Structure 1
Amino acid sequence: METLANLESFLRSAESGNFSEASRRLSLTAAAVSRNVAMLERNLGVRLFHSSTRKLTLTEAGETFRVAISDNLEGLQAAIAGISTGSDEPAGLLKLSLPPTFGTAHILPLLPGFLARYPRVRPKWHFENRQVDLIGEGYDAAIGGGFELSPGLVSRTLAPAHIVAVASPAYMSGRVPPTRPDELARLNGIVMRSLQTGRIRHWSMRDVSGREVQASLSESIVVNDPAAMREAALLGLGVAMLATADILPALEDGTLLRLVPRWYCDAGAISIYHASRKLVPAKTRAFVDWVADAFRKNRLAERFAGSLS
């Protein structure tokens, strides 16, 4: 009977095309992944990969074997995670991807209570501004907005992802507050260049009646991170378009002022994503429910809504 480690090493190597990437996804060394695959080939008595210095390519037998086990292995992994050594208590490594600013402000504070309730769960959290491949990279869950809901994934909406225009009281002192989004262009703009596209993002704002007006900020300051935009706004350097979730404390304590308060940009929803297995691991199910319950108790969906001035 083959071990789960050998089968996982084979599948991840087949998906990524090399042992190094597979080892990163499995949190093993490349040498360990290579040994597991070699052991599997020896036990099966067939060669699964053609190897070169640059890339692994499946043999015909390897492709046949990959197709045969890929779906079954996912179910076996879920069953093992869910059984938790004889009980349904959540346990094991919880690999999560989440945005740095949002994750630090709103998800990390939930961790002490979660670990007190589920002490056998071990967090492995990646704070990153990118859309991850949950299944391919071995994540249990991800939190963010704008994920492509590919086959095999499900999402649970937590709150709206609304963008609003803000500036510090010091910056606005002596200036006439704009009344429409197109009037923001006469103020110093703090804008962000996308790491993915290299372009500067400009927004179209709407009000509750559905009217839309372009809000093109001047490019007085250009950065590549939303946390830097927030800090620049707090320093009184100009106007920034930021997610309400990232600036909620500053809005509530008055260190940032919301401009054109009847207007906002709708960037979709903040959701928590996980694989749609028949048997969701107990650790993943418990974490998703914990986060959703905290958002409900703290009324974060309502507090993040830019449509509410």
Structure 2
Amino acid sequence: MRVVSIGECMIELSGRSGASWQQGFAGDTLNTLWYLRALLPDEAVTDYVTAFGDDPFSAEQIAFLADNRIGIAESPTVAGKAPGLYAIALDAAGERSFTYWRSEAAARHLADDAAALGQSLAGADLVYVSGITLAILDADARQRLTDALEVARDAGAMIAFDPNYRPRLWPDEQQAQTAIEAGYRTSTIVLPTFDDEAMLFGDASPEATAGRIAAHGPETIIVKCGAAAALVHHDGTPETVAPEAGIVPVDTTGAGDSFNGGWLAAHLAGRGPADATRFAHRVAGRVIGHHGALLPMGDLDDLRRANTGAG
């Protein structure tokens, strides 16, 4: 089994104490791959496809991924570039705000080399991509990525897509709509968040979201609705699946990314869409009970065993 995730790994600054910060690495598609790696069998191969700079922080990223059994396939190194950066600040009430420095990030060049990108996806059983991945690319690179995804899909890979709409990353709504609708058409599985879809497309309900996306061709759509029940739409049949009761969130960072990782890991293990959604709720519920987007993989060993049938 080989799983590939495509996107941007950023430097994260958090936990500020005076002038000091804690440094880590995160990003939506990396977060999802992190949870896939934690929940898949040990023999599964996981690769993160991006572009790295030739700076010390990029070297640290590659080492961090390797230490956690995540490869980088044929991801290019771009001379003179470095990773994007974001900082998480807390106000007096404890609310989080995010400041980003990413306009010149190396990851914006992940699809510059079509041949290398195709090699990175060759032989994958599952490829995961998000609307943020699309948003950081220029139009030509976005088309190269779409072409590579179509080749992988036609070769038998499942293509999973979270539209993950972030208005500040797009020049305007029309460009975002066009790119995200192309993402729907390329995918076999779509994992949208209802609030994002309502913001961009004006959907009145999760059912409207699922119906609109289904018209573009994906066979499975899982509409995430925060703490409410998710809507499972598979082969035209809708079903709602609620999370377990009694979950008390500590930090919702990475909730949707971990849900996606849990759902895809369960799907790869052969679970049906509704059962995979119940498992995904369990994973996300575990993650939001702790601080930070990346829960240590060992903290999910019991869920990995439940998913893989090990132990």
Query: Please, what TM-score do these two structures have when normalized by structure 2?
Result: 0.26
Q: Which has the higher contact order (CA 8 A, sep 6+)?
A: 1
Q: Name which one, 1 or 2, has greater alpha-carbon Rg.
A: 1
Query: Please, what TM-score do these two structures have when normalized by structure 1?
Result: 0.26
